[in-house]
Each structure stands twice: as structure tokens, then as C-alpha cells.
Amino acid sequence: MKRATVTIPALTSQLHVARDAVTEFTGDLLDSAGQKRIILAIDEALSNIIIHGYKNDSSGEITIDMQSDGPELKFIISDNAPSFNPLEIPPPDIDNYLESGQTGGLGIDIYKRIMDVSYERKETGGNRLIMVTTAEKKSSGIQHS
């Protein structure tokens, strides 16, 4: 089993640190497209935690525990922000999204489409978002006919 952990302060300016860590962790497991999908999902989750959970309070921290066991990739995102279960939010009404003047609210739907997501309230307070996907083997660049 492969494991790695990264902790960032609750600042959108630090999202690049998480992106770099996820890229490094998945580098030998996924092709570029697979990496970009996972990074998008995690980036959306982290942004929501920073903006809505911590309300841009830079004293907060977010930890991402990354695990790979065979083809399964698991990312456990933990914070100490007020309890919030994003899975209780209904999916957006895409048909009326633009007409209603909305400018946000798609992040949860995006990461739920990319990965299997579950939520746990931490016993010590805060939240744990578990994001799981199955890695498709990285292409070797060799084509078979």
C-alpha cells in the first residue's frame, strides 16, 4: 500500500500545495487526464472547506491522507471546521442554473461525479470527506493491435 499525507492552511492561495502533492502521489498510477480529474475533485472539496467551512479563516488546517491499494485510490480530507455534510445538498438544477443567475454551487456535484464520496463527522469535531476512485492503469504509450 502506498500512502502520503499533506496538510495545508485554509487559504485558497495554498491549494497549489495540495495539487502538487496529489500530482506527485498519483504520478505513477494515472495518466494526465486521470490526474486532472482527481485534482479537480479535490480542489473543489478543498475550496468549499476554505470558503464555506472555515470562512477564509487562515488559522484553520486541512489534511489530505492519500492511499493507494491496488487499483483503488482513496483521499481522506479532514478539517476542524463546523460540521457540514455536503452529501445532504441536493444536486443543482442545471436546466435553470444560468437563468437563475447562479454563480456557484456546482463544486459538490462535480466531485460527486468524478469520485465515490462519503462523509463522516469526526469524533473530535470537524469533518472527514472520503473520496475514492479506481485508477485505470497508466498508459505505457505502447499501442496493441
pTM, entire model: 0.86
Specify whether the CB–CB gap between 129 and 91 falls below 8 A: no
The domain locations on the chain are: 2-134
The tens digit of pLDDT for each residue in 98-124 reads 677 666 667 788 898 899 999 999 888
pLDDT at 138 > cutoff 90: no
**Could you read off the pLDDT of 55-91 as tens digits, one per residue?**
989 999 999 999 999 889 999 999 999 999 988 887 7
Cβ 57 vs Cβ 10: under 8 Å: yes
What per-residue confidence (pLDDT) applies to 144? 36
Mean pLDDT over each residue of the chain, to the nearest integer: 87
Q: Counting every residue, how long is the chain? A: 145
Q: By C-alpha distance, which of 75, 73, 86 is closest to 1?
A: 73
DSSP string across 65-108: EEEEETTEEEEEEEE-SSP--GGGSPPP-HHHHTTTT-----HH
What does CATH list as the number for 2-134? 3.30.565.10
Alpha carbon distance 107, 53 (integer Å): 14
Query: For 35-39, which contacts have Cβ atoms below 8 Å and span 24 or more sequence positions?
Result: 37/114, 38/73, 38/75, 38/114, 38/115, 38/133
- With cell 485510490, the residue in question is 73
Q: C-alpha cell of 45? A: 472539496
